[in-house]
Amino acid sequence: MAITLTPAAAERVKNFLDQRGKGVGLRLGVRTSGCSGMAYVLEFVDQIGDEDLVFEDQGVKVVVDPKSLVYIDGTELDFTREGLNEGFRFNNPNVKDSCGCGESFNV
Amino acid sequence: MALLQISEPGKATAPHQHRLAAGIDLGTTNSLVASVRSGRADTLPDAEGRHLLPSVVHYLADGSHEVGYAARAQAAVDPLNTIVSVKRFMGRGIDDVRRLGTVLPYEFVAGEGGMPLIRTVAGDLSPVQVSADILAELRQRAEETLGGELEGVVITVPAYFDDAQRQATKDAGKLAGLKVLRLLNEPTAAAVAYGLDSGNEGVIAVYDLGGGTFDVSILRLNQGVFEVMATAGDTALGGDDMDRLIATWIMQQAGIGEEVAHGLQRRLLQAACAAKEALTDREVVELNVELDDGTRWQGTLTRAQMDELIEPLVRKTLSPCRRALRDAGVRAEDVQQIVMVGGSTRVPRVREAVAGFFGTEPLVDIDPDKVVAIGAAIQADILVGNKPDDEMLLLDVIPLSLGIETMGGLTEKIIPRNTTIPVARAQEFTTFKDGQTAMALHVVQGERELVDDCRSLARFELRGIPPMVAGAARIRVTFQVDADGLLGVTAEELTSGVQAHIEVKPSYGLTDNEIETMLRDSMEHARDDMEARRLREQQVEADRVLEALQAALDEDGERFLEAEERAAIDAAAQALAEARGGDDPRAIKRAIEALEAASKDYVDRRMNANIQKAMAGHVVDDFE
């Protein structure tokens, strides 16, 4: 059971947290919504909850709630650039199919 | 798949519901667009990695156009169809533009309502249209970068822009298909970029030295609200002037005469500009310029030498600083923070001079070219709702009270000055005369008690009030000021629902200096104004009493009054009419009281008679 970051993603997250000036880590999760079942959640974490699981990778604390973990276990978070657009991408081995834009997915 | 950005805790949006927002610095020479991504605000580069977009549009005969670097390259080739510095024409009438016009190559024609149109091969274009083309380019860049449609934008404008110029900027945004959440003053945006709005109060100076213009603004921060206290500047002073001084120095060193061909002149200016930029981090720079005869001139320029060359320009920026401080009524040591804006503030000598003048180290951490756009982006992010509500900011206030004229030429303030916007306030008024079916409303701006001393903004009429006795109609006047400071006034008669509305048309804008003057006058004349108001109020009251009495006497004076009583009332009325013509409010008040005393019995008799008349034919039960 683990969530990992690519070096590019880890560097960006550390950078963003520094810029923000507060926050203990990065929350990855899912919630039900969107056009194909589930949607990813990617948020700064100011407070780690009692039930939260914490993974540490390359100096970044990755926080996941146990319910979400079953959907995203084994995910590698990457930071990439597509044309002018840049941002984070979930490389999630559990995904069976996703909607056209990839913002929501099914397992 | 789509790329994700990190959200604030609890603020992750559902798929396809991203609220994308951007801040736009629509500049005279260059424009920028910025956005907050993963909690960080930064400007967005184009595909070639360039952040600045030259504010230049080149129009072609087939009706198409190009924006930015490509357009700027055409300025020398096709000057009539390449529009530069369009910001200077925004919200201006054709006469203003003609006055500015001597150095401009464009052919202006008068459009509807005196709006200037620029004649190009692609047709006659308004400055709003040209600005919209620049904004559309930035919009496209932002939407490609952020991967979706923009929910809203914040566009910055100079603090001294008047209502007409602000409205024109807003119109340009609309024309470019943007939802303009708000216009933000450039110095305020710069202060926001540094997070100065999170402080509680204080005085902030914004020193903005660009390529061709210099502006200094003094802001007061009070509970998260910025108020522009004063602005000053010089519209022909900037980094370009430094380049010219350095180029002249090179010409002297190289023994070149004053008359040089365009090509060499451009090479000299480029070398000067490059040297100036290099001397930001280095103490000495090598110069190497190709001369017209094919030989090269080589030399060195030290930072100390450059400092000496540009010293007169640096000094020249300090007198507007002094003026702004004086207008704001604060001293240099009251200024807690100084925000540096504009590429020319990278010059170490400029920073040093500013630090020396204000006695505080200026803020320079954020790229001075980007700081305004970054502040706008932060504001836009908050306005579209990507931040928790408690971080919501109100950033602008009404500089002068808004009100309407009431009887006797007095002002009734509806929205007092320094109210944060957007705001809506209503107040009820009534009719002054029996059977009055229309009411003239006069919207004024200012702090003085008499309408004549305030600035007239608009006049309109509410018609179709059903005839009623004086004081029975209920007319609600609502003043609404939107987030950009634009005013709408509505009057509604509540019993019948008849309504009239007016948008206060632009072109009534005030410069900060005018606002200062109006405020100062209101303080200086406070006592006179109070006296004047008291007098007018008594005069209005006297008119009302006399009018009501006359109406009553005409109706039933014969019936209720003995000749002797009538004579006493007439005498008191005569005395009041005389006092009303004078300028002593106390005398009028006494005369009113005397008349009321003289007519008391008469009024009582009328009252009794009316009550008897009203009750005649009813049984007591009817009144329970």
Tell me the three-class secondary structure of A13-31, residue by residue.
HHHHHHHHCCCCEEEEEEE
**Which pLDDT score, from 0 to 100, does residue B623 have?**
53
Candidates B137, B151, B163, B186; catalytic one: B186
From A16, A40, A101, residue closest to B38, measured CB to CB: A16
From A31, A35, A44, residue closest to B39, measured CB to CB: A44
Three-class DSSP category at B597: helix
Contacts of A63 in chain B (CB under 8 A): none
- Quick one: which H or E segment has residue B129? helix B127-146
Position B508 confidence tier, pLDDT thresholds 50, 70, 90: very low
Candidates B133, B208, B381, B537; catalytic one: B208
Instruction: Tell which B residues from 86 to 145 touch A, by Cβ distance under 8 Å.
Output: 141, 144-145
User: Does residue B452 have an active-site annotation?
Assistant: no
User: Does residue B170 have an active-site annotation?
Assistant: no
Three-class DSSP category at B231: strand
User: Does residue B556 have an active-site annotation?
Assistant: no
User: Does residue B25 have an active-site annotation?
Assistant: yes
Model confidence pLDDT, tens digit, residues A3-21: 899 999 999 899 888 888 8
| Greatest C-alpha distance within chain B | 118
pLDDT at B394 over 80: no
CB atoms within 10 A of CB B297: 17
Contacts of A43 in chain B (CB under 8 A): 6-12
Q: CA–CA separation, B500 vs B511, rounded Å?
A: 29
Q: Report the relative pairing of strands A25-32 and B296-302 from DSSP bridges.
A: unpaired
Those residues of chain A whose CB sits closer than 8 Å to some CB in chain B are 12-13, 15-16, 19-20, 26-27, 31, 33-35, 39-47, 80, 82-90, 98-99, 101-104
Rg of chain A on CA atoms, in Å: 14
Query: For residue B469, which of B445, B492, B437, B496 has the smallest C-alpha distance?
Result: B437
Model confidence pLDDT, tens digit, residues B219-239: 988 766 788 888 888 877 888
Q: CA–CA separation, B387 vs B383, rounded Å?
A: 8
State the burial class of residue B389 (Cβ atoms within 10 Å of its Cβ: 0-12, 13-18, 19+): exposed
**Which pLDDT score, from 0 to 100, does residue B134 have?**
97
By mean pLDDT, which of B39-53, B102-116, B322-336 is the weakest?
B102-116
- How close, in Å, is residue A1 to chain B by CA atoms? 23
pLDDT at B605 over 70: yes
Contacts of A96 in chain B (CB under 8 A): none
| Chain A contact present for B147, CB below 8 A | yes
Sign of CA dihedral A49, A52, A58, A60: negative
Mean pLDDT of B173-190: 91
Model confidence pLDDT, tens digit, residues B298-314: 999 999 999 999 999 99
Mean pLDDT of B342-355: 95
Position B215 confidence tier, pLDDT thresholds 50, 70, 90: very high
By mean pLDDT, which of A48-62, B417-431, B508-522, B530-544 is the weakest?
B508-522
**Which pLDDT score, from 0 to 100, does residue A34 have?**
45
Mean pLDDT of B275-282: 93
Q: How high does pLDDT run on average in chain A?
A: 81
Position B506 confidence tier, pLDDT thresholds 50, 70, 90: very low
Please give the share of chain B, as a percent, with pLDDT higher than 90. Answer: 31
Please give the share of chain B, as a percent, with pLDDT higher than 70. Answer: 89
| Chain A contact present for B10, CB below 8 A | yes
CATH number for the domain formed by residue range(s) A4-106: 2.60.300.12
Q: Which of A64-73, B20-29, B488-497 has the highest mean pLDDT?
A: B20-29
State the burial class of residue B103 (Cβ atoms within 10 Å of its Cβ: 0-12, 13-18, 19+): exposed
**Which pLDDT score, from 0 to 100, does residue B186 have?**
93
CB atoms within 10 A of CB B541: 18
Please name the residue of chain A whose CA is at the shortest distance from the CA of residue B13: A41
Q: Are B485 and B163 within 8 A, CB to CB?
A: yes
User: Of B83 and A68, which is predicted with more confidence?
Assistant: B83
Q: Which two tokens stand for residue B314?
A: 């640096």
Residues 6+ apart with CB under 8 A from B165: B90, B91, B92, B157, B506, B509
Model confidence pLDDT, tens digit, residues B462-505: 888 888 888 888 889 999 887 666 788 999 988 888 888 887 75
DSSP E strand boundaries for A1-107: 4-5, 25-32, 38-45, 53-57, 60-64, 76-82, 85-91, 97-98, 104-106
| Chain A contact present for B523, CB below 8 A | no
pTM: 0.62
Under an 8 A CB cutoff, do B6 and A84 touch?
A: no
User: Of B360 and A66, which is predicted with more confidence?
Assistant: B360
**Which pLDDT score, from 0 to 100, does residue B515 have?**
61
Query: For residue B393, which of B216, B154, B157 has the smallest C-alpha distance?
Result: B154
Q: How high does pLDDT run on average in chain B?
A: 84
Distances, alpha carbon B496 to alpha carbons B179, B432, B491, in Å: 36, 17, 12
Please name the residue of chain B whose CA is at the shortest distance from the CA of residue A63: B9
- How close, in Å, is residue B155 to chain A by CA atoms? 22
Position B291 confidence tier, pLDDT thresholds 50, 70, 90: confident
pLDDT at B9 over 70: yes
Distances, alpha carbon A52 to alpha carbons A5, A33, B310, B473, in Å: 18, 21, 60, 65
Q: Which residue has the tokens 């014969």?
A: B558
Three-class DSSP category at B509: coil
pLDDT at B18 over 70: no
**Which pLDDT score, from 0 to 100, does residue A83 have?**
73
- Print burial letters for B447-480: b (CB count within 10 Å at least 16), e (below 16): bbbbbebbbebbebebeebeebebeebbbebebb
